């Protein structure tokens, strides 16, 4: 298994541009997450999904959008990029029992380093 993969690894955007960060997992996990990690800081949840067709906001959703059309893919869309969105973005996935929300290990992708100038 490749686990959780993310593309691109690095990207520089100009203010006002848009882009989509791709995330794919091949572990048949139902839960998927997007986090951002600012330099020297912890992980903040942007959006998450408990299954295909279901998404919900995390702690810092403003300026981002997500969709979950398949179990494997969970793209993150940035519209009108701003310097405040300069960060490292991590996608993660886990298997959880939906009825009880019991969590199994959360696996992270390698991250996308985004700079907005």
Q: Which residues bind other proteins (CB under 8 A)?
A: 31, 33, 41-45, 48, 50, 56, 58, 90, 94, 96, 101-103, 105-111
Smallest distance from the beta carbon of 101 to other proteins, in angstroms? 5
Q: How far is the CB of 68 from other proteins (least distance, A)?
A: 14
List the structure tokens of 104: 């199994």
What DSSP state is assigned to residue 84?
G
- Closer to other proteins by Cβ: residue 18 or 115: 115
Nearer to other proteins, 36 or 116 (CB): 36
Question: Toward other proteins, which CB reaches closer, 14 or 101?
Answer: 101
Positions of E strands within the chain: 4-7, 10-13, 19-25, 31-37, 43-51, 54-57, 64-66, 76-78, 87-94, 96-97, 102-103, 107-108, 112-116
Closest Cα partner for 72 from 12, 11, 23, 6?
A: 23
Distance CA 28, CA 93 (A): 9
Closest to other proteins by CB, 13 or 91: 91
Least Å from the CB of residue 90 to other proteins: 6
CB of 51 to other proteins, least distance (A): 10
């Amino acid at each position: 298994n490749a686990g959780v993969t993310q593309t691109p690894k690095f990207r520089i955007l100009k203010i006002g541009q848009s882009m989509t960060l791709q995330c794919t997992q091949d572990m048949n996990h139902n839960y998927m997450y997007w986090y951002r990690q600012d330099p020297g800081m912890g992980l903040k949840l942007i959006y998450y999904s408990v299954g295909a067709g279901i998404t919900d906001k995390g702690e810092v959703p403003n300026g981002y959008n997500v969709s979950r059309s398949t179990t494997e893919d969970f793209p993150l869309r940035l519209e009108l990029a701003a310097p405040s969105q300069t960060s490292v973005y991590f996608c993660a996935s886990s298997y959880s029992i939906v009825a009880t929300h019991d969590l199994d290990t959360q696996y992270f992708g390698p991250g996308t380093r985004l700079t907005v100038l």
